[in-house]
Structure 1
């Protein structure tokens, strides 16, 4: 056996509540001013929502704006839920909201807001990853965990008298050997782990039976589930008290689930809560776009791309490609790195215009969606488009 594991969490998970509130703020501020600068953090705990950070916008907004963003985000997630009491879940209208927003430091603005350019909003390194395990060039265990998440989350919304919207999923894949792992050949699902909140009126055996039946009915990978596959559903016995009532949530704590499920390194900071000048967000999208092109063009079976920046400087400090020993081209990784760096500017302004990051709704996505589903891996996102595939395929 050679096992590898990834997990995912639903929008109702406390950390995701924080991310989604933060990105609702980003979406709404960009509607008001596409040049808004945003870096807000959210902490949800018990019946309290605390919003803090820095914002720069050419509009007059007050604390009620942020409170309304939080309430609408929680309603988008699915709170409050039928079938649960105020001691078991949260009710957005009854929460205590605190807002501590100040204006972005002018010292940051000096470096970021340049004439005809955008300086990087922070220093750091961002990671892109792609693999040919699946048609979407994403790692299999992660996308299986996300698929289960979506099945169970949608089921919870359809059956609110039984299930809650706070849940986690985890998939353990068996590649059978390190060689198969290196070649991106998963063989079977070894374990499925689920934490699913539910009504106190239903016993655990019924819950487990219901969820297993649902998985076998709706999951696309049931052919990889065999008689040896183990299921762990609600390992503590019950999961009635849930959401921020049961556990606090904070922006940026689910970056592994949001990106590559531990199949690749994690770069700088989180994406949620930040505007597009923050390269934690825009740099990650660009790095994923490059890595996906490398694999889709057949240059390698998998690729890690690192892009690094320094605050106030537009051009990246480095662009580094690592094909992890799977290269199928005559080019060395360092040669491929140089070709990519020379062809694509990869400045925050170039990335922003390339993917429409300053006008997300106009370009077919919202930051709330990226917070709820994952920052990469969905073809609707502009940074998932293979629009430079011919150039990559032309490389020797």
Structure 2
């Protein structure tokens, strides 16, 4: 056996509530002023919500503006599940006590970010990683993908049946690759363990919860043939025996604490900062999208079985300091990783302005994408995201033919 495990959390998890509130603020401000600079953090504990940070915008704002965004976001997530849970067991958004501590962004940052030629300097220094693997058609690692799919099935059921389940849930999947060689070359074999924590109405016994959760997973999740055998999968469902009190009432939430769930589930390194709460000038967000776009193209073009891409920036400079490709000894082309890195760095500007324009990061909308929805689902791995489009595949495939 050679096992690897990844976890995922739903939109109702307290940390995700924080991310979604913060990114709902980003959405609203960019919709009113596409040049807004935003970096706000959110902390939830009990009935208290603190929103603090820095904003520069021409949009009209007030404490009431931010409070309305926060409460609307929590209602959209699914709180309160009043049919199945009493006060003290879940969060009631309209009864929360909100504290707003938002100041104007430092002009010292603006000096470097806002260039005379409309170029955008990086909003901070830092390193960002993109990753892709040939394990699946979406080029995402298997354990994380299944953890997300199970999460989505259970979260959808919870939204539709608030008398039974709450929306604050976590999932975890362990994959057996058989051997380290199989792991290195993207060949998962089977699921060995599934872990679920899902809040339930206190009148529903654990055995009934287990039966329903297993049935939903078996009936609704589209497992690849051979990956799931019910007789040989070990389930851990609400392993303490009871999970009634949930939401920020039971566990505090903070922006930026779920970056592994948001990206590659531990299969790849993470950078120096989270994506949620930040506008596109912050390369923690924009460069992560660009790095994923590059890595996905490398694998989709048949240049390697997997690819890890690192981008590094310094504040006030538009272009990255370094572009590094690591195919982790799975290269299928004639190019070394060094040469591939150089060719990509030469072909694509990878400045915040270029990344923003390519993916439309300054215009979140229902028709394009919303940062709050990205925060809820995951920063990468969904085909509808602009940075998941294989729109430069011909260029990458040409490298293989050169």
Q: Does 1:225 align with 2:228?
A: yes
Counterpart position of 1:40: 40
CA RMSD of aligned residues (A): 0.9
Do the aligned residues in 1 keep the contact of 2:190 with 2:228 (CA within 8 Å)?
yes
Q: What TM-score do you get using the length of structure 1 for normalisation?
A: 0.99
Query: What secondary structure, in the 3-state scheme, does the structure 2 residue paired with 1:117 have?
Result: coil
Structure 2 partner of 1:5: 5
Q: Is the 8 A contact 1:163 1:197 kept in 2?
A: yes
Query: In structure 1, what is the Cα distance between the partners aligned to 2:375 and 2:242?
Result: 27
List per-residue Cα deviations over 1:102-123 (Å, max 9, x = no partner): 0000000000011220000010
Where do residues 158-307 of structure 1 align in structure 2 (5 Å cutoff)? Answer: 158-221=160-223, 223-226=226-229, 227-307=231-311
* Structure with the bigger percentage of strand: 1
Task: Show the counterpart of 2:153.
Answer: 151
Deviation at 1:228, TM superposition (A): 2.0
* Shift >3 Å, 4+ stretches: none
| Distance of 2:364 and 2:278 partners within structure 1 | 13
2:140 to 138, 141, 159: 138
Q: Do the aligned residues in 2 keep the contact of 1:356 with 1:363 (CA within 8 Å)?
A: no
- The DSSP-based 3-state class of the residue aligned with 1:7 is strand
Which residue number in structure 2 is paired with residue 373 of structure 1? 377
Q: Secondary structure at the match of 2:232?
A: strand
SS in 1 for 2:195: strand
Structure 2 distance, partners of 1:166, 1:48, is 17
Q: CA deviation digits over 1:273-293, x for unaligned, max 9? A: 000000000000000000000
For 1:313, the equivalent position in structure 2 comes to 317
Q: Take 2:127 and 2:23, find their aligned partners in 1: how far apart are those partners?
A: 21
Contact 1:26 1:367 in 2 (8 A): yes
Q: What is the rounded CA distance, in whole Å, between the counterparts of 2:125 and 2:178 in structure 1? A: 40
The CA deviation at 1:209 is 0.7
Deviation at 1:363, TM superposition (A): 6.2
2: distance between equivalents of 1:120 and 1:392?
26
SS in 1 for 2:167: strand
- 1:362 deviates by 7.1
SS at match of 2:357: helix
Corresponding residue for residue 117 of structure 1: 119
Q: Which residue of 1 aligns with 2:331?
A: 327
SS of 2:331's equivalent in the other structure is coil
Unaligned runs of 5+ in 1: none
Q: Deviations over 1:344-375 (max 9, x none)?
A: 00000000000000002176110011100000
- In structure 2, the partner of 1:127 is 129
Aligned-partner Cα distance in 2 for 1:241–1:52:
27
1:86 Cα deviation after fit:
1.2
Q: In structure 1, how many angstroms separate the alpha carbons of the residues matched to 2:366 and 2:31?
A: 10
Write the deviation string for residues 44-74 of structure 1: whole angstroms up to 9, x where unpaired: 0000110000000013311111001101100
The answer to whether the 8 A contact 2:29-2:59 is kept is no
1:97 aligns to 2:73 (yes or no): no
Whole-angstrom CA distance in 2 between matches of 1:193 and 1:284:
29
Where does the alignment leave 5 or more consecutive residues of structure 2 unmatched?
A: none
Cα separation, 1, equivalents of 2:185 and 2:248: 41
Deviation of 1:31 after TM superposition, in Å, equals 1.0
> How far apart in 2 are the matches of 1:323 and 1:60?
47
Contact 1:170 1:194 in 2 (8 A): yes
- Count the aligned residue pairs: 396
The one-character-per-residue Cα deviations of 1:246-298 (angstroms, maximum 9, x if unpaired) are: 10000000000000000000112000000000000000000000000000000
